Amino acid sequence: MNDCCSFLDDSNGKELDKVFTDAIVSKDFERYRKHGPRKSSRILISLLEEHRSTQDVSLCDIGSGIGSIAQAFLNYDAITVDVVESSSAYITASQEEASHQGNRSRIAYHHGDYVHLAHELGPRDLMCLDRVICCYPNMDSLVGLSAVNTKSLLAIVIPRDSIFHRALMKSLYLSFKIWGIFRTSPVVPRFYVHRITDIEDTIKWCGLDRLASKTTFFWRIAVYQRSQP
Ligand SMILES: C[S@@+](CC[C@H](N)C(=O)[O-])C[C@H]1O[C@@H](n2cnc3c(N)ncnc32)[C@H](O)[C@@H]1O
């Protein structure tokens, strides 16, 4: 395979399937059942609710995890939801939660790497990447394809881009590595600290402008709106 097509290699999706194991997912599932969506997800949901128009009726949640964004938007009867997930453990947990909430038939599930599925899935009004970009090595492909497929609003949650937050991410990765050695785990979660300026340049290049942003201690939550066709 030549370099220009390297993003079509499925190794990233396969690696993510191994990283987000049953053990990691069941902990997250337990946390979600007890506390609901994380703070950064709650902010993302409220920003989308604030800025979306009533014509925005399709949502695609990429790297949806347990599916907290999908579940929140199913409160609106008119909205159709697609979730895309590389991890089979997360897909199973997300389906279990949707059945528990009586919403299973209202969500279309797509198992795999969004970079491979983007063309087949096509555009949606609202697109979400909630804590996903930092798990994926090829930012340009993931963010670019998501932005191209955004008809109205794209919402992202990424780690804040400062020396302190970069150092924190590196130490977290190191501690996961050490934990992996002791647990003889084959693959440990890997973080990619993509620069915010690179992410925003890609989004802008695809015809979207920043509409709103907020921060928590660790995360930056931002919403972009299509300004050019
Ligand atoms: C840290 S988890 C976040 C899950 C959820 N969005 C949340 O905030 O709780 C990142 C998820 O993104 C998924 N993911 C990362 N890159 C992806 C891609 N290119 N296509 C589909 N899923 C992806 C991973 O499998 C993982 O489940």
pLDDT by position in tens, the chain (length 229): 344 444 556 677 677 777 788 888 999 999 999 999 999 999 999 999 999 999 999 999 999 999 999 999 998 888 999 999 999 999 999 999 999 999 899 999 999 999 999 999 999 999 999 999 999 999 999 999 999 999 999 999 999 998 999 888 888 878 877 776 666 555 666 788 899 999 999 999 999 999 999 999 999 999 999 997 7
pLDDT digits (tens, 9 = 90+) for 118-144: 999 999 999 999 999 999 999 999 999
Question: Using CA atoms, how far apart are residues 226 and 151, in angstroms rounded to an integer?
Answer: 7
Whether ligand 1 lies within 6 angstroms of the CB of 43 is answered as no
Q: Is 85 in the pocket of ligand 1 (CB under 6 A)?
A: yes
Q: Where are the domains of the chain?
A: 3-226
Which residues are CB-contacts of 49 (< 8 A; sequence separation ≥ 6)?
none
CB count in 10 Å sphere of residue 157: 24
Supply the residue whose CA is at minimum distance from atom 4 of ligand 1. Answer: 65
| pTM given for the model | 0.91
Determine the distance separating the centroid of ligand 1 and the alpha carbon of 116, expressed in angstroms.
14
pLDDT at 66: 95
Which neighbouring-strand residues pair with 215? 220
CA 44 to centroid of ligand 1, rounded, Å: 15
Alpha carbons 209 and 203: distance in angstroms, whole number: 8
Neighbours of 166 (CB within 10 A): 15
Taking only the tens place, the pLDDT of each residue in 172-198 is 878 877 776 666 555 666 788 899 999
Check: CATH 3.40.50.2300 for 3-226?
no
